[in-house]
Amino acid sequence: MVNDDWRYLQECTDYYLDYRMVHNMYGCLETRWGATKDTCQLSSSGSALLTDIMILARNLGFRITEEAKQRTDSYSNWKPGHNYTIYYSKDGVDLVFCEVKAHKKGTFHFKFCREFMRTFNVEAGRLFGWLKSPNQAANEMDESIEDMDNLFIKSYHLDIEHSPLLLSN
């Protein structure tokens, strides 16, 4: 059961990123000359942000689909306030990685899958030294110790299949 209640006023001692985020980025959408008010284009800085998120996801073991990469690379039409879904592939099945919405006021609204945010929070906590063990991660994030064991001992690296990309100009 997902609890989508606002958690701001609850007393917290353990901190980690939530699966919903709002990123302020002036100029995330650009309006083309002669276009209608509902037709915008993803700006180069907006495209770079989405590409960086997909690279981070790939480094954490999430295989973002090619369609999602083309959507953010091609500067295709984006409707302000419209949800766009980015998928990742797991065991041959496409699953929702995140929903992203860009607004003309200069904000991106992200709703990431919980599996990614859990993996990201554990890896960031481990790298920054905030989390020393899977038990501590399980206690702070209210997750099972078995899940944290699997996430805490993972070693993220580039696969051999990606090595030609490192050698190209």
Weakest mean pLDDT among 36-50, 108-122, 131-145: 36-50
What is the domain range of residue 155?
114-159
Claim to verify: residue 133 and residue 155 sit in the same structural domain: yes
As a whole number of angstroms, the distance between CA 69 and CA 123 comes to 24
As a whole number of angstroms, the distance between CA 94 and CA 87 comes to 6
Inside any domain, residue 164: no
Inside any domain, residue 72: yes
Altogether, the residues listed in the chain come to a count of 169
Section 86-93 average pLDDT: 88
Claim to verify: residue 102 and residue 121 sit in the same structural domain: no
- 13-36 pLDDT per residue, tens: 556 677 788 888 887 777 766 556
Claim to verify: residue 36 and residue 91 sit in the same structural domain: yes
Claim to verify: residue 124 and residue 106 sit in the same structural domain: no
Residue 168 backbone phi and psi in degrees, to 5:
-75, 160
Claim to verify: residue 142 and residue 77 sit in the same structural domain: no
Look at the chain and report how many structural domains it folds into. Answer: 2
Residue 88 backbone phi and psi in degrees, to 5:
-125, 155
Whether the model pTM is above 0.85 = no
User: Locate tokens 């090595």: which residue?
Assistant: 163
As a whole number of angstroms, the distance between CA 148 and CA 36 comes to 49
Claim to verify: residue 72 and residue 102 sit in the same structural domain: yes
Claim to verify: residue 57 and residue 101 sit in the same structural domain: yes
Claim to verify: residue 102 and residue 128 sit in the same structural domain: no
Beta bridge mates, 58: none
Q: In the 8-state DSSP scheme, what is residue 82?
A: -
Claim to verify: residue 131 and residue 103 sit in the same structural domain: no
Confidence of residue 70 (pLDDT cuts 50, 70, 90): low
pLDDT of residue 159: 54
The burial of 166, by beta-carbon neighbours within 10 Å (0-12 exposed, 13-18 middle, 19 or more buried), is given as exposed
As a whole number of angstroms, the distance between CA 102 and CA 136 comes to 36
Claim to verify: residue 85 and residue 71 sit in the same structural domain: yes
Question: What tokens appear for 67 in the block?
Answer: 């369609």
Inside any domain, residue 12: no
Claim to verify: residue 100 and residue 134 sit in the same structural domain: no
Residue 85 backbone phi and psi in degrees, to 5:
-105, 135
Which residue has better confidence, 106 or 12? Answer: 106
Weakest mean pLDDT among 39-48, 59-68, 82-91, 149-158: 149-158
As a whole number of angstroms, the distance between CA 93 and CA 117 comes to 19
